Structure 1
């Protein structure tokens, strides 16, 4: 079980504020789901960019996330604290890369990402259990996002108008 982190800690530190998904990771129930929900407004902003810009921002979020999540984890003294949800932001944004427009696809992408993030099929589970530090925190969600991206693109191929 993860220790409870006071809101004061999260909101007084830029590192924790980002790692905790602008505070969404403070949710007492399903912080990963709350973090993924909090990523939707960011997605709605980013999806308006050209694809190359979206990819660039996604890469920056992911690479910066290795340090952000690792540093937040180090400061808290807990590896991959449940409230650290920056990795969910990256995984969801990856899932939604070049997704069809519309709320139906956002909901489907959300559901697929949460499915793969919770289920943790190989190699997601291996990354979650064996890779340490910020890279370990980010990698399992990136891999879950890749699975979800393939599933979403497959569904879009058959069902998008």
Structure 2
């Protein structure tokens, strides 16, 4: 009987449904170029269908994002700007954030406009659907004023 019980216990994982992987957002660092020494960059956040993330002040419910640019080189301090959010109900509380994809502009400048820099961004976002989960990533991109001149001229 013990052997049979042990055999049944071994079969339990096979009968259980597979664990569902949580969808992840597509987070990208966009660097369009350098104009008059200022970087043209943004943090693009593409949310999975039905998910949301929060604004810098998330309201009564929600997790505020943490976005840091420490580790960047050749750049003045970079500021993150947050586009106008929307309000939504979160378990009876008002939350403020985004339910669709968003690009957060990044403002900064090259320390020496003639020399390239490197933009490094550490990101922590609270993502919610039925439950909230933290999402963390670190992204880096070159900021080259020489390459930007042609791109900026082509965009004009």
Please report the TM-score for the alignment, with normalisation by the length of structure 2.
0.26
| Structure showing the higher strand proportion among its residues | 2
By percentage of residues, which structure has more helix? 1
How high is the TM-score relative to the length of structure 1? 0.25
